[in-house]
Structure 1
């Protein structure tokens, strides 16, 4: 595969408002901004960056400044290629495990250097004991499946039936034939994009949204068409008319929406708005793809399952166990019309050959627990959400953190457009976060920061204290008379 080339215009769009008066030398600020883009995934690895002369002309800087920035990034391991050679994005060896959790663990010396870093780039919970128990039972049942070839294109029948039963409990009549098992919800979206979208086609989505969805849309060669969520305090709605208008105006073959505890805002679309959206799209050729990864994570108020039971023929649903169970269990699914499922099963053969049988058997065990494990986690998440909001209000009172009804994170509004700078400084303080612009396009959301509340309360306290120091260093000193917590803080 030919390595990707990042053009100057693309890099500048990602950089946004990277330079700030009084924040240090220009080359250091530029290097820090590029480093953050690499760390949070907005710049892919092994991608060729613009040449020093080209970037200097585009940014209105001297070539010496850009050369110094590139040189610092090379010294730190974030760029490869010597002076005069093409600069390609990279990660220093000690960063690979944190960027790619599936990689092998770091050597002991490197772990000691990074043991104090708190990583909040992923809003996920660790596995609980039910995961191990489910795998033990799955191993006991595995021999019964060994005589077969193991290639289950649509997924094991019993897992498809267990997923279908979950939809029926939500008031959505569903059969196993309407389910396709995937490697997580993201993999399901990729399959749908391959089936539905051609290069140059428009894909409408609510803005902000799940970052990897934007990446998948771009990778498919499609044109991302964002429709902004209202950004006023207390406003929980969607721009229903804007969504429908964008779908029709751009003749979009697909709209990707996260209506149930939207990632990152935590919002949930009301039933009335869902019905208005379906009415507005009636007769349209747009396939409505709903990402329901967080649908079961309602923490306060009525459950989201009632609103999510609104259905329509040209509606496809993506589900996953990564947020409600464990990210390491790469099990997701697509719920759609039988004809769509059959087409997906046929087309996936050129992409992947299905999901491992053992994981599917473990998923059956977990889905058949009657929701007991998730019910036990909701009070824990509720307490952590409220604790984080209270600590942020106490120590960073100029931040606005609406209380989401569900999901796994807060969508904090910052006192100024400082998200990228703050995230960069927070990394220096030992906290890794995804900056607001990671959840949008064209440099949006510099006044926003996603704050997962999936860690224990003592670690959340430590995160807040480090953010206080980071905020002071970017020139947004918090006003609070409250001292930092005196109890010891455990970090991992």
Structure 2
């Protein structure tokens, strides 16, 4: 049974400007295919009835029927008489993501390769395992040693923390989902940045939240410019972003959200960092309304050459902190954490058990040892990211001189301005060239950000080179098809 139903109107919004030079049914099928593969149409979602979609798009029902048939033939739609057509992923259970074919370069994941000395640390951590075997192994809050190590790391960064304020989770996404379930009731409002990390707003939505968006200005753009990607680079002082700060505090005051999900450092995907003044004003507004601020710090320590250093957000006011080793050590090391006051930790424990019974012990032992070497890890990642950033910027400048590529001072991605609302078309064209990229609308809701593309600079040089070459071929293929004019769709909203 489908978990949700997508109306014809909602699908029309997601489709954006989908018509190309070829047949209408193929163009429609290709755009819906991208929306499913890209996660913007979740698996198990019931698609609009053919008649309703045809009326909404101004097409014949025959055209829509042919598009749905094309999707069925590729395993992306399952149609059952009397139940409609439901989104699927080909060849695997609907609840699992489709693994890319071996010949594809997957540039959609912003995560560096594993830490080179991870195998040695993992082998050494097995020496600590006998000390854990007398217990059941079900650990819903985290081993004392790891909680102490995480607390010590926060304290060293300027935020005094005790182990009792720490819960260890199965990665940062698990932490965000737990917080969403604990804080949000069906129909409650939750504030998010736009654009933002898509799995975070998906977790809030799954908990029943109504999302309130606040625009985020790219890392080096002037917030007063109506089109920041048409100008030369502007090194804007973050303290001058008054409009953005006012918009966020006003949204908190007027919508009274129960929670706000923010990335204060090297925001994904824009790369911008909040100034001290912004942090204080936003936290003050949240405290006045009783809004719980969730600060995602998974990328916070990946500073390359930022001129200013910042304390963790909770050092400036009340905030719940989320972290992990997924971006510093390896995405396959599924260990994250939540830093919160003890009453919220107890509340999180009560909502956790229906979903899982604890974080794996061996991974916790490994991460405990790794946190002792976190400064060395960050030094290595800083050099890797500095090299990767320079390489990607140089390649993009040569291959796409008209694109707007912000120069970020940390993090792992850059939010590229394409100059036209063609991000989804480019993502489809890139797949034909063996490259998987996440289109700009993946980081917004309701089809926004077609003018933007998130590109990571944390991959090895040979992968980045091959990805940009494939992207260039895809871009050239688009040039053979007329690019639609901006027709007022949600495009330049950051």
Q: Same fold (TM over 0.5)?
A: yes
1:13-412 maps to which residues of 2 (within 5 A)? 13-20=13-20, 23-81=21-79, 86-93=84-91, 99-100=97-98, 114-230=101-217, 232=221, 233=228, 234=234, 235=236, 237=241, 239-302=244-307, 304=309, 306-308=310-312, 311=315, 314-412=318-416
Rounded Cα–Cα distance in structure 2 between residues aligned with 1:73 and 1:386: 40
TM-score, normalised to structure 2's length? 0.89
Task: Name stretches of at least 5 consecutive residues in structure 2 with no aligned partner.
Answer: 222-227, 229-233, 482-494
User: How far has the Cα of 1:94 moved from its partner?
Assistant: 8.5
CA deviation vs aligned residue, 1:324-371 (integer Å, no higher than 9, x gap): 111111111111112211221233223322111111111111111242
Task: Name stretches of at least 5 consecutive residues in structure 1 with no aligned partner.
Answer: 102-110, 478-492
Q: Which residue of 1 aligns with 2:418?
A: 414
Q: Indicate if the aligned counterparts of 1:274 and 1:310 stay in contact, CA closer than 8 A.
A: no
Query: Structure 1 residue aligned with 2:441, among 421, 437, 448?
Result: 437
Q: Indicate if the aligned counterparts of 1:288 and 1:315 stay in contact, CA closer than 8 A.
A: yes
Rounded Cα–Cα distance in structure 1 between residues aligned with 2:432 and 2:313: 45
Rounded Cα–Cα distance in structure 1 between residues aligned with 2:27 and 2:248: 37
Name which of structure 1's ranges 144-153 and 442-451 shifts more when overlaid on structure 2.
144-153
Q: Indicate if the aligned counterparts of 2:8 and 2:56 stay in contact, CA closer than 8 A.
A: yes
Q: Which residue of 1 aligns with 2:490?
A: none
Secondary structure of 1:371's match?
A: helix
CA deviation vs aligned residue, 1:124-144 (integer Å, no higher than 9, x gap): 112133222222122221111
Cα 1:52–1:318 shift into 2, 3 Å: same
Q: Indicate if the aligned counterparts of 1:270 and 1:307 stay in contact, CA closer than 8 A.
A: no
Rounded Cα–Cα distance in structure 1 between residues aligned with 2:291 and 2:438: 31
Rounded Cα–Cα distance in structure 1 between residues aligned with 2:167 and 2:98: 27
Q: Indicate if the aligned counterparts of 1:426 and 1:432 stay in contact, CA closer than 8 A.
A: yes
Rounded Cα–Cα distance in structure 1 between residues aligned with 2:103 and 2:135: 47
Rounded Cα–Cα distance in structure 1 between residues aligned with 2:32 and 2:40: 10
Q: Which residue of 2 aligns with 1:10?
A: 10
Cα 1:315–1:391 shift into 2, 3 Å: same
Q: Which residue of 2 aligns with 1:487?
A: none
Name which of structure 1's ranges 446-455 and 280-289 shifts more when overlaid on structure 2.
280-289
User: How far has the Cα of 1:442 moved from its partner?
Assistant: 1.6
Rounded Cα–Cα distance in structure 2 between residues aligned with 1:189 and 1:215: 10
Q: Indicate if the aligned counterparts of 2:159 and 2:311 stay in contact, CA closer than 8 A.
A: no
Cα 1:121–1:273 shift into 2, 3 Å: same
Task: Let me know the Cα RMSD of the aligned residues.
Answer: 2.3
User: How far has the Cα of 1:151 moved from its partner?
Assistant: 2.3
Query: Number of aligned pairs?
Result: 463
Q: Indicate if the aligned counterparts of 1:317 and 1:335 stay in contact, CA closer than 8 A.
A: yes
Q: Which residue of 1 aligns with 2:431?
A: 427
User: How far has the Cα of 1:465 moved from its partner?
Assistant: 1.9
Rounded Cα–Cα distance in structure 1 between residues aligned with 2:182 and 2:314: 24
User: How far has the Cα of 1:96 moved from its partner?
Assistant: 9.3
Rounded Cα–Cα distance in structure 1 between residues aligned with 2:327 and 2:313: 20
Cα 1:472–1:83 shift into 2, 3 Å: farther
Rounded Cα–Cα distance in structure 1 between residues aligned with 2:295 and 2:321: 5
Cα 1:128–1:303 shift into 2, 3 Å: farther
TM-score, normalised to structure 1's length? 0.89
Q: Indicate if the aligned counterparts of 1:286 and 1:314 stay in contact, CA closer than 8 A.
A: no
